[in-house]
Structure 1
Amino acid sequence: MANPLARAQYLLAAHNPRQLPPDDGFEVAFAGRSNAGKSSALNALCQQNALARVSKTPGRTQQLVFFDLPSHTGRYLVDLPGYGYAKVPRELQAHWQAFLDRYFQARQALRGLVVVMDIRHPLKDYDRHMLDYAAKRGIPAHVLLTKADKLSKGNAGSTLLAVRRDLAATYGDTVGVQTFSGESKLGVDEARKVICGWLDMPAP
């Protein structure tokens, strides 16, 4: 079966709630600290090289970027602003915070949250903050421990177990976690199945 995410295409970038598409579909949001590998993960999941912009400049995503899945009406992937970057102006940080608060509280189309973490630096305060959003809203979350190819298999496995224990103690069974690499494609099929399930689409 073909990958239904492969036809994802840029739809719009929203800087305030008025610019969001109609709230009557299914969407999965992607969050991650700056340089955690969020854009690379999106590109790997959608089998595209430049769907999400990969930048060496942290904090480049400064809006909610929506990608449409044209073969399935009203299905979206949403790239949230990269967070945790100190050089972003304080006013812009406050704007993002207010916008994200409202998005997570009110957006009915939101079906799941993917939180991307560098496996070498997992579960920072901002990561937990995003997971708290999902927990408060009662939606499932899934953690991608990216750049797993940078560690030995043993170290990656032990980090995965430690993060899994931490998440289970805090969030119960509402948060999944796996190792992932956009570079080597480790874990791409597993993550794709989770996302397609949330979007009520057949998994490849």
Structure 2
Amino acid sequence: MKVNQAEFIISAVGPSQYPEDALPEIALAGRSNVGKSSLINCLISRKNLARTSSQPGKTQTLNYYKVNQDLYFVDLPGYGYAKVSKTKREQWGKFIEGYLLNREPLRLVMQLVDLRHPPSKDDQAMYEWLRHMDVPVLVVATKADKIPKSRWPKHLKIVRETLGMDKGVQPLMFSSELGLGKDELWGILEQAIAYGEPEPQTEEVLTTASTDPQPS
């Protein structure tokens, strides 16, 4: 997709603040340091539109970014931080759960995991919940540039097996620094916007896809 316009719309704290124009929404879920903001900036070819919170894990809002007049990226609050009370975490959990289950324009959740490390228990719980609730999900393995290319297959296998992904289905490997996976990811997102849940990324598809960095 050629991005001609991208803008931050709102940090929503509840359903009453969600946009009402019914454009398709692509949500991003993951730990607070997994690279959600960097992925958004890479996809829209902007450096600083999406910014990382100065207090990760404390600001719990849904950040809406409109791309052209075609879709919204919705940056969900990062999970994995325990510096808040159990009651507050439960409130945030219900807020996010309500969005994921009830938001009509939602087409796909991109769940970001750090390719350098095995998925955490929070990553596993999120993926299992999304699958159980039949929420369309695409696993995106970020920070591929931090690992030698020769080790990519090993780390992808660890991610796939730890999350319990279906046989033959692979995470999509991504690097915001290199632009790796950018074109492939846009292709998946365009399919999700047009037709609903995209086809799973199979090993064959990702093996034949270019692994050369693309300009960001």
| TM-score, normalised by the number of residues in structure 1 | 0.83
Match of 1:184 among 141, 158, 178: 178
Partner in structure 1 of residue 159 of structure 2: 163
CA RMSD of aligned residues (A): 2.5
Partner in structure 2 of residue 153 of structure 1: 149
Match of 1:54 among 52, 55, 74: 52
What is the CA-CA distance between 1:155 and the residue it aligns to?
A: 1.4
**Residue 134 in structure 1 maps to residue 130 in structure 2:** yes
Q: Measured at CA, do residues 173 and 20 of structure 1 come closer, stay the same or move farther in structure 2, by a change above 3 Å? A: farther
**Residue 40 in structure 1 maps to residue 38 in structure 2:** yes
Counterpart amino acid of residue 111 in structure 2: V
SS at structure 2 position matched to 1:195: helix
Deviations 1:138-162 (Å, cap 9, x if unpaired)? Answer: 2321111111111111212211133
Match of 1:194 among 162, 174, 188: 188
Deviations 1:31-64 (Å, cap 9, x if unpaired)? Answer: 1102111111111111111121035753265200
Task: Give the aligned length.
Answer: 195
Q: Measured at CA, do residues 125 and 92 of structure 1 come closer, stay the same or move farther in structure 2, by a change above 3 Å? A: same
Q: Measured at CA, do residues 136 and 94 of structure 1 come closer, stay the same or move farther in structure 2, by a change above 3 Å? A: same
For residues 60-99 of structure 1, what are the structure 2 equivalents within 5 Å? Answer: 61-72=59-70, 75-99=71-95
Partner in structure 1 of residue 206 of structure 2: none
Match of 2:27 among 29, 50, 72: 29
| Runs (5+) with no aligned partner, structure 2 | 196-216
Partner in structure 2 of residue 3 of structure 1: 2
8 Å contact from structure 2 (residues 156, 170) kept in 1: no
| Runs (5+) with no aligned partner, structure 1 | none
Q: Measured at CA, do residues 152 and 88 of structure 1 come closer, stay the same or move farther in structure 2, by a change above 3 Å? A: same
SS at structure 1 position matched to 2:194: coil
Q: Measured at CA, do residues 175 and 101 of structure 1 come closer, stay the same or move farther in structure 2, by a change above 3 Å? A: farther
SS at structure 2 position matched to 1:199: helix
Partner Cα distance (1:81, 1:142) in 2:
17
- Give me the identity figure in percent: 37
SS at structure 2 position matched to 1:155: helix
Does 1 or 2 have the higher relative contact order (CA < 8 Å, sep 6+)? 1
Partner Cα distance (1:174, 1:137) in 2:
21
Match of 1:124 among 120, 129, 135: 120
Which aligned segments of 4 or more residues in structure 1 are displaced greater than 6 angstroms?
A: none
Counterpart amino acid of residue 29 in structure 1: A
SS at structure 1 position matched to 2:82: coil
